[in-house]
Amino acid sequence: MNKQGDIVIVCDGAYRDEMLIGGIAGHITLVTEGAPLVSKSFSLPVIGYKDCNQVEMKAIEMSLKTASDLAIESNVEIKSVTVNTDSDNARAAIKNYEKGLTNPKYFGLAKRIRTAGESLVDNGDFTNIKFNYVKAHVSYTRATPIERLHNEVDELAVNAKDALFFSFTRPNLEEKTIGVALPARPREVDGRNFSALGKSLAEQGYSVRVVFDGAVRKDKEHPFLKGFANALPDPEKELNQRLYDATDYRPVNVIRASREPLAGIAGVLFSMEQRRRLDITAKKVNATSIIASQAGEAAGLWYGENSLTSKLDNGQFPKSSQMLLDLTEGPINADNPRNLSSWCEVIGDLRARGRPPIHVGLEQAVAALPGVEIKVEIGEDPVAALMEKIEGFVNSGFDALSKDEMSNGIQQLCAEAGLHAPLISLQHVVKAKTPEQVAKRGMEMSARLYQYQVVDKMDAKPHEETIEEPTHRRFARR
């Protein structure tokens, strides 16, 4: 028969509300009759918890698991456990779990605490676990031994939280790793430039984190991806190791397929910015919106695959990309971020002292990369030229032409550019009531036609060798 003993736990959590980050710590003592006391301490940073009560409960859960390890190492069966915590809310959530009254926000943690406790005590009797209140921050001269120990544990939790905060504001950089934001459907001339850039980056030994902005499908034929992959000595082996695709492939109606909120570091960064900008509490942050998807993509460009998880490397945030290349030409509005470019800027700015640079446009990108040399082609944008012709035709003929004549004229301009304008699209264009509205609709239609009738054809040339879709993990939905 194994020896029997009792466990005494003193634990605490520290929390930084505006960042959803914290630290937890615990001191576990095994008391066995006729044997010396055996103790074990821990401290860990944590991310993604919505309030300080969740962090306090996480400290209790981890303390129970650490106590279980200590009991196994000492070959002792545990008769009773006493948990000393300064959180009345955590104690209430655990107590109410058995009654089915626990707040849903704390239910999962309460369940895990119960499971950890039942596996620790002899016969799995959770009634042998007592949760005592211990007063926090009592001066040393007035504190009891338990209160003094709690002060020490509190300091460990605070230190873990602060270390995580400083690793975020002064990020470690992943050597020769960059984030690249690309338009999902580039102009033909830009496609050639992106292919050359991808090729040069691969040849220079860079790893890349990419987002194809505006994607509603898989982008295995994107010129940047093809240029990068084709320049690798062994694409099948190396592509997964050197390229991470953070694109959130959404349905065409841009409603997220999953209504689950962003997870991990992406969720923390999004919540942090939304709470700061909108002055709202964590529970009011809508982390399932299309804006959240774009924020998550930006986090993926900065932090790679680890942006999707709560994994922390040695108590620090994952390593950041050395820089970001924003080639989307999207407008930047950091005060009201509603596109990928704005979120890249915002998430970079959250790291006040250590933000790596963002280079906008192809010429800036090439200039910022030592050893990467490409000849940037500058050519006429066929879409812009067609838009200009449509706008001029509409403005000059709006008052003189019938709707049918207006429709036929726009259709002819599209045909001259090699595009087929369907009748149903033209009817929508010409039924607008002002020349400005007709011109705007006509220009928007021509851009869509070019994307789907020209760019898609370039992507699907017959007999052209293609690469298989990367098997690396894309932006996850949980």
For residue 221, count other CB atoms closer than 10 A to its CB.
18
AA identity, residue 146 = I
More reliable by pLDDT, 478 or 217: 217
b vs e for 399-427, b when ≥16 Cβ sit within 10 Å of the residue's Cβ? eebeeeebbebbbebbeebebebeeebbe
- The pLDDT assigned to 288 comes to 75
| pLDDT value for 224 | 94
Band of residue 260 on the pLDDT scale cut at 50, 70, 90? low
Lookup: tokens for 263: 């997870």
pLDDT above 80 (res 187)? no
CB atoms within 10 A of CB 105: 15
Give 468's pLDDT tier (boundaries 50, 70, 90).
very low
* Structural contact between residues 68 and 119, judged by C-beta atoms closer than 8 angstroms: yes
Contact 31, 105 (CB under 8 A): no
157 or 374, higher pLDDT:
157
Q: Which two tokens stand for residue 335?
A: 């005060």
**Better-scored residue on pLDDT, 299 or 168:** 299
Query: In the prediction, which pLDDT does 280 show?
Result: 73
In this prediction, residue 268 has a pLDDT band, given cuts at 50, 70 and 90, of: confident
pTM, full prediction: 0.72
159 has pLDDT over 60:
yes
Please say if the pLDDT value at position 278 is more than 90.
no
Give me the mean pLDDT over the 207-217 stretch. 87
pLDDT tens, 90-127?
999 999 988 888 888 899 999 999 999 999 998 889 99
Q: How far is CA 259 from CA 212, 227, 250, 256, 281, in A?
A: 22, 35, 12, 6, 20
pLDDT tens digits for range 236-254: 889 999 999 999 876 654 4
Q: Is the pLDDT of residue 52 over 60?
A: yes
3-state secondary structure 182-209: EECCCCHHHHHHHHHHHHHHHHCCCEEE
Whether residue 465 is predicted with pLDDT greater than 50 in this model: the reply is no
Is there a contact between 263 and 299 (Cβ–Cβ < 8 Å)?
Answer: no
Q: What is the mean pLDDT of the chain?
A: 85
**According to the model, what pLDDT value does residue 472 have?**
35
- Cα 242 to Cα 177: distance, rounded to the nearest angstrom: 9
**Beta pairing, strands 323-326 & 177-183:** parallel
